[in-house]
Structure 1
Amino acid sequence: MSEGAKVIPLHGARGPSTDSVAARTQAASRERHPSGIRPEDEAAPVVAAPPPPSRLDVVRGSLADSIVAVADFVRCRMSGEYEVDEFGYDEHFTENVWLPALRPLFDQWFRVEVHGIENIPDTGGALVVSNHAGVVPIDGLMASVAVHDRHPLHRPLRMLAADFAFELPVVADLARRAGHTLACMSDAERLLSAGEVVAVFPEGFKGIGKPFSERYKLQRFGRGGFVSAAMRTGTPIVPCSIVGSEEIYPKIGELAPLARLLGLPYFPVTPLFPHFGPLGLVPLPSKWHIEFGTPIVTDGYDQAAADDPMELFEVTDHVRETIQQTLYKLLARRRNVFLG
């Protein structure tokens, strides 16, 4: 063994006593920090994460945004800094008044979850075809919010509505300003040719007025006029399935004589209406899911197909079956009507 080697004893002989080493270590520690702990050894202070905003805070924020939007709307109205297209669509009104008024229903009341928004194209026309339900057609309004707010380019959804909607004094003006028009072939083709995203609800009043016992069972889709419009313009058809709308006003009956007297398609009876008066008009807060399916292309059809009843029936039936199967899928995944 070399003389300069340092021997570390395994047993027996020891170096400086343990007590003296500990004493020197503690003294050095006290010199470094009064507490005996080096500052770098101290744990970083734990900062509590801010609590998530309450429902009341969210509502207050939405209300504040709405007030600001309305103030901006009034300013632009007074200065004339807005435009209206040939259908009466007022983009400034829609962005600052109409959509902000619908968002509390969309975000807080129905808590809508949107799936497949990427199936709405970024450019060019598209025809969104959806199921229709709920006694009052709120589903169309929620679909318009979904497309505008969730699409990366915030595209407006131009709905084709029944004639009845444009015969009501206040409703007609709001519908026109929000960009909607009559459910007729000429208007549909003009909008699609202009590159707009257009929505149609082929079930019509048969869908929204059906009894609760037939919920989520699609009614007849008509003769395929919407398919013909898509074929003529070469625009894709995007199937849309909405779950949650059937439960907002469960229709358990109707008063046909009163409906005829008032000139309405039907006068519904629900568990809360008309027994509870105005309170019965409040929609139940069901949990909604809106899914936009894979587009069905139509640009491969020739112009003759747009007038061929068999071709129209085949495509119409394909669209209807796609929506129906998606409804079944969404219903199977849903755990609770109100919790989702």
Structure 2
Amino acid sequence: MDAHGSFASAGTGKDADVIPINVGRHAATPEPEPSDLERRIASGLAFLRRRLTGEYEVDEFGFDPEFNSTLVLPIARALYEHWFRVEVHGLKNLPADGGALIVANHSGTLPLDGLMLQVGVHDNAGRDLRLLGADLIYQVPMLGHLSRKSGHTLACQADAARLLDKGELVGVFPEGFKGVGKPFHDRYKLQRFGRGGFVGTALRAQTPVIPCAIVGAEEIYPKIADLRPLARLFGFPYFPITPTFPLFGLFGLIPLPSKWVIQFGEPVPMGDYDAAAADDPITLFNLTDHVREIIQQMLYDTLLKRGPAFF
């Protein structure tokens, strides 16, 4: 062994090869990157741990952002992307921050349009949409609990005002069950918008109203009849008959794969009026009718843009 810590080869001549030996050191073996499956399992286990230990946050309305982004949105997104193939237009009309009231048409027999609107806003605008739901939803224990954890709350002026004051993006369907439960032959014809409560809320909060047209929901469960005796028996606003339900049982609850388009219109500013206008019935009626006319025209235009319902 020479002075530099290396051994000579078997030959002893001056031309003998010298083989260096790295004394006391070994090359570090790189750690393998975890696979996508391993990451998902680890994320799922961490989610369960937080659920069991209560290490998650819920706001005053019951909204659980982690639950929504981990469970609700991925399921809804599968329908959004692969079944309904939703297109979203007019995203520039959604504010990046601050409160605003999205006012949309309502249809589809089952209100899947709310979920698709929620996914569209979340994935394209990066904001949580706080939907206002009918009383009936919150009278069903599991459904009401799930709705609140998803960010929905009761469709009342008090809750809407509190959300807008917090700078949230709020969604409302003024047609209510009249829209979602209308027969197929009335598709894309807006029903009455109530008494203009949503306009009064926007006026008091001085937040803009953003008209929204949703095309595609009308075709998922074409309602051709209504069994009113069964509806009264179960306490439902209607009991629909569609081409697939109840003829095919639970399989009839699979929505038809119509092509969807969601269009956001230009905001209708409320800053041109003072908050006191919210108590003026004439102003409320005129503004409500104005928003309704905008959405109806948007529906006609978006229908032409969408083209055939299933292609």
Matched, 1:200 2:146: no
Larger-gyration structure (1/2): 1
- Give the RMSD, CA atoms, in angstroms: 1.6
Check the 8 A contact 2:214/2:261 in 1, yes or no.
yes
Return the letter of the residue paired with 1:83.
E
What is residue 85 of structure 1 aligned with on the other side? Answer: 59
Q: Which residue matches 1:170?
A: 142
**CA-CA distance at 1:67 after TM superposition:** 6.5
Task: Give the corresponding residue for 2:47.
Answer: 73
Give the Cα separation in 1 of the matches to 2:38 and 2:195. 46
Matched, 1:95 2:60: no
| Change over 3 Å in CA distance of 1:72–1:320 after alignment to 2 | farther
The residue number in structure 2 matching 1:227 is 199
Partners of 1:265 and 1:133 in 2: CA distance: 14
Unpaired runs of at least 5, structure 2: 1-35
The normalised TM-score by structure 1 is 0.78
Q: Which amino acid aligns with 2:99?
A: G
- Give 1:68 shift: 6.6
Aligned residue number for residue 108 of structure 1: 82
Q: Measured at CA, do residues 271 and 146 of structure 1 come closer, stay the same or move farther in structure 2, by a change above 3 Å?
A: same
Residues 125 and 69 (structure 1 numbering): CA distance in 2 closer, same or farther, change over 3 Å?
Answer: farther
CA-to-aligned-CA distance 1:197-236 (integer Å, 9 cap, x gap): 0000000000011000000000000110000000000101
CA contact (8 A) 1:254 1:267 kept: yes
> Contact 1:243 / 1:327 at 8 angstroms: preserved in 2?
yes
Which amino acid in structure 1 is aligned with residue 75 of structure 2? Answer: A
Q: Distance in 2 between matches of 1:241 and 1:272?
A: 26
Which consecutive unaligned segments of at least 5 residues does structure 1 have? 1-60
Q: What number of residue pairs does the alignment pair up?
A: 276
Cross-structure match for 1:212:
184
Length-normalised TM-score, structure 2 = 0.86
Does residue 295 in structure 1 map to residue 267 in structure 2? Answer: yes
User: Do the aligned residues in 1 keep the contact of 2:206 with 2:275 (CA within 8 Å)?
Assistant: no
Question: How many angstroms apart in 2 are the aligned matches of 1:246 and 1:69?
Answer: 37
Q: Aligned-pair distance for 1:82?
A: 1.3
The aligned amino acid for 1:201 is: F
CA contact (8 A) 1:73 1:97 kept: no
1:114–1:291: 8 Å Cα contact kept in structure 2?
yes
Counterpart contact for 1:70–1:97, Cα < 8 Å: no
Alignment deviations for residues 173-196 of structure 1 (CA, whole Å, 9 cap, x no partner): 111101111111111100001100
1:237 corresponds to 2:209 = yes
Q: Which amino acid aligns with 2:247?
A: H
> Aligned pair in 2 of structure 1 residues 215, 132: CA closer, same or farther (>3 Å)?
same
Q: Does 100-109 or 78-87 show the bigger shift?
A: 78-87
Identity rate of aligned residues, in percent? 59
The one-character-per-residue Cα deviations of 1:128-176 (angstroms, maximum 9, x if unpaired) are: 000000000000010000000011xx11000110000001121101111
